[in-house]
Amino acid sequence: MRSRFLNGIVLFALLAFLPTQALATEPFAKVGTYALQFLKIGVSARATGMASAFTAVSNDATATYWNPAGMVDITRTSVSLNQAWWPADINLSYAAAVFTLPFVPGSFGVSARALTLDPQIERTIFLPEGTGKKFDAGDMSFGLSYAKFFTDKFSSGGTIHFVHSGLAEKSVNTFSVDFGLIYRIGLRGMRLGMMIQNLGSKVDYDDRASKMPTVFKVGLAFNAYQRGLHSLQSVGEFSHPSDNNERMNFGAEYSFNQFFYLRGGYNLGFDAHGAAGGFGLRIDTTQTSDILVDYSWVDLNYLGDVHRISLGFSY
């Protein structure tokens, strides 16, 4: 049985690697040609503080986004509220909850996110200063997740998203699917994570079909240092988006007594993303509940900085 799961992991890795090789000979990346780009914006302060190298970690409520296979590591009901301030006065909000049900195996999750901006002035060629009217634009999604252990080391999970995108009177609706797995190697807390994100059909804008921004990810996390009250987790990740070149992310999370967390990382191969950092606090409210507060900063080079705040509850 174990060999079958190991073979499944190898097959999954090969399937994720094949699209990379198929696209490697293309002369140009397909930047700006795929729809629903908001689906690729990282949602939590903890993960983005580690340069978004979170596929192999994914052990809090935001696993519904980063890798649903990690939901099985959450032993209590967990809720996460996240806010990101993106360039051009764009805001990204994300909320998620992970829980279990009596007499039903596995872990369940629900999530919602919204990309919003202030009403924009309607302009035309003949009235460049505005027509006196304004229009709205934004995107949102709602997700249902499920994950399960198949052995004591291997888990997999998936999320189904309903996605809505609107611009003035125009709007499109579609579905997307995420699928991931995590294999716990056991040596120094090593975890191997794999993820296929944003699988879905094309969406039509004015009879022009656009593809979904599918992303393939492979990550590795391990305990680089553990002594007394101090621990350091290191993470690395390789990703291949269908509309851009291959990328790599590296990050680390230092923990003092599971109370104070300091994070940092770097994004390689991105058009804008560079260094990242952040910190967090975990406060025990009772013996069975706690509150987590996290902050992250990411350098987008010429686009400026992105700040995120996350608030988590476990009970």
Residue from 147, 156, 146 nearest 4 by CA: 156
Residue from 77, 78, 112, 76 nearest 95 by CA: 112
What span, in angstroms and rounded, lies between the C-alpha atoms of 159 and 98? 12
Residue from 170, 181, 153 nearest 68 by CA: 181
pLDDT for the residue 32 = 61
CATH code of domain 2-118+135-314: 2.40.160.60
Residue from 163, 222, 216 nearest 192 by CA: 222
Token pair of 204, please?
A: 């039509």
pLDDT for the residue 133 = 82
**Residue-level pLDDT, tens digit, the chain, 315 residues:** 555 544 544 444 444 444 444 444 445 566 666 888 889 999 999 999 999 999 999 999 999 999 999 999 998 999 999 999 988 888 999 999 999 998 899 999 999 999 988 887 888 888 888 788 877 888 999 999 999 999 989 999 999 999 998 887 788 899 999 999 999 998 888 999 999 999 988 888 777 788 889 999 999 999 999 999 999 999 999 998 887 788 899 999 999 998 999 999 998 877 778 899 999 999 998 888 999 999 999 998 888 899 999 999 998
pLDDT for the residue 143 = 97
Query: Which residue is associated with the tokens 């988590």?
Result: 312
pTM of the model: 0.85
Neighbours of 151 (CB within 10 A): 13
